Structure 1
Amino acid sequence: MTIDIADRIRRHGFKRLLLAVSGGLDSICLAHYFIKNREALGIEWLGIAHVHHGLREGTADRDAQFVEAFAKSHGIPFFLKKLDGNALKTAEGSLEENARDARYEALMGIAEANKCAIVTAHHAGDQAETMYMRLRRGTTLAGMRGIQALRQNIYRPFLDITREELLAYARENGLEWCEDESNADVKFARNFIRHDALPHLEETCPGATMQLCRIAGLADRAYAKVMEACERVFSPALRTENADADLHQHDMKGDNQHDTVAGMTQYISLNKKALRKMLLEHADSDLSEMFRLWLSEQGLRFPIAFFYGPKEPAHIKIPHRAAYRRRSIVKNGHTVRICAFESAEAALKFVSCESKEKGY
């Protein structure tokens, strides 16, 4: 690999790392690199985790056994998590997304138990594929950032490294790996982009793949500046005092209310008066997308047009009470409360309880 990533890894100060290893070229290179450079990187503990999705017969078991043997040969703790393949196939949404979400949930569970960060082998090709997919279907500035190198305790150190560099590294170090035959199935959107769309784009526009990665980097730096501005504008409206007391009081109003609040995973409370004042100060601007992005950074994602009101100050319209999937918004007295829940049903129930309480 031609890019020295050691300085970046040391800069993050990681001491305990869980390596996500599928058994393919990318993840075997990842595992070998960290094992070989463990001492130089100042890493105190390494573990290897493999997620068996239960979607492939035969070769999936082979991959799990291969990764386990690799881990044992290097004296690294090995963790195997088997998923319910039938449940993934029948769940609502795409199989790709279901498998990805379940995989990360499994990895996070292992990492939490071992008090460590997760490391994955996403590389420049994965970044280009992600950018291509998002640009094709439409995206926002947040989406233009592509895959993040570090997000939610997940570190991806290889995003600047091409598959060709990984292949050269594997050959140089005599590494063996497994080939997942499902990666060649172009009925999956990402595989089609990897094997058809991007090679065609690269053929007609040489260097397009790395340009997509470059755009992601530029968007990431621009996004950081936008978020700094968002913090200056919106954070003064955050209620930092009595917010927990308010929720506790709401919690005490009956068993149903208790169940609803118990299902809440996170929330923010905004001072309605302070927010209104801020919107009036920026009445000639359109801050609706900035507000949405700011909420997204709090883990509270809503659609692009959810807060857009062309006749409102700063074009921000906040619903009196509304639910979107597992999130809800409720105006209650002098407070705007925006919450996330464990389920869409819990979010709807919270809005419904607030409505009944206020007599709507």
Structure 2
Amino acid sequence: YREKLGYVVKFDINGYTGRLYLGNIGREYVERIVSIINEKGFEVENVKVYEKIIPPPPPYTTDTLLSDASNFLTFSASKTMSIAQTLFELGFITYHRTDSTRVSPIGIAIAREVLSRAGMIQQFTPRTWDRAIEGENAHEAIRPTNPYTPDELIEMAVRGEVGIIVNIGKEHIKLYDLIFRRFIASQMSHAKIRFMSATLKIDRYSVDVEVPVEIIEEGFTKVYRIVYLFPQLKELLNVGSIKPSSITVTKGSDRGLYRVSDLIRLLKEHGIGRPSTYAKAIDNNIRHGYIILSKRKKVAIPTKLGIEVSDIIREHFENIVGANATRDLEKLIDYVEEGSMEIYEALNRIKSVVDAIQSATSIQSLAGLNTSTDLALITSAQ
């Protein structure tokens, strides 16, 4: 992010907000670019219209629930897990700490009933998503445990039929609604959507635009809308240039800052943490003052302290507490759980790493340690 700081032009075209990165150039040149856009607009090239078949997303796992709750509801990771815990304890959703997208026959029956009552049985397309393998995916995906719609849940709360142990509030309903819609969508037919793409050019810069402009077949989007339509941009089909309704110039980067949803996705992709620890990992970074979250978009902004600590770790301790070392330690735990390694052997390997750290006499000698080698995980995996 810091390496690519420069000028950014943000513009609005008929409700579509775009972003053009200019880079670290002179202010006079930036003003010239803005002047051309105001006078002549963007040149419009390579306009295409096409259709896409969009399959429904799978039901939620912990990481995808945390991501969507952050993006759509602006909930923090810890808040989402706390509310989900309450919904689980009250028996409204399945276990919320899971990596599985599997749907049981009971879950499929619930979706069938909901769609049948809503007059949408023709959209019902049952899916199990994935099957449990021995030792894996013991849990199901996160889904409703009963065919209660969010409105029915509200009525039950008003009548005092739920919320006796804890108060059921608006935030519980919002999260339940998110889980409910995502799950029902996962058991519905695909959607067919018309898209339009174009290239907007100005001087030596260009930005590619791709937007959905029309839903041809609703499918699952009838209950779970994941696209925002821009039918007004069909205007690009008939023009050689177009002027934005507003332009602002700011300092920014061509690499956006991570959102909470991005951080959770990266944790999962790098094999770090478990569904039960994703929220804790984010909260710990906030609590230690390494990052702060913007209020509106929940963008993770690194603090000066966080940057300094990260730089020190990368320079001196990457082999001890870096991403690879953390992932390898978790693999070691997995081997014990699977029965492919005795716990005493695992403890001895961990102890050898700890002993090496304790006996190190300088930062340089610490930097020379490699926990992955000492744990010998590659050999163990074979």
Greater strand content: 2
**Considering the TM-score relative to the shorter chain, is it more than 0.5?**
no
Greater helix content: 1
TM-score (norm 1): 0.22
Q: Which has the higher contact order (CA 8 A, sep 6+)?
A: 2
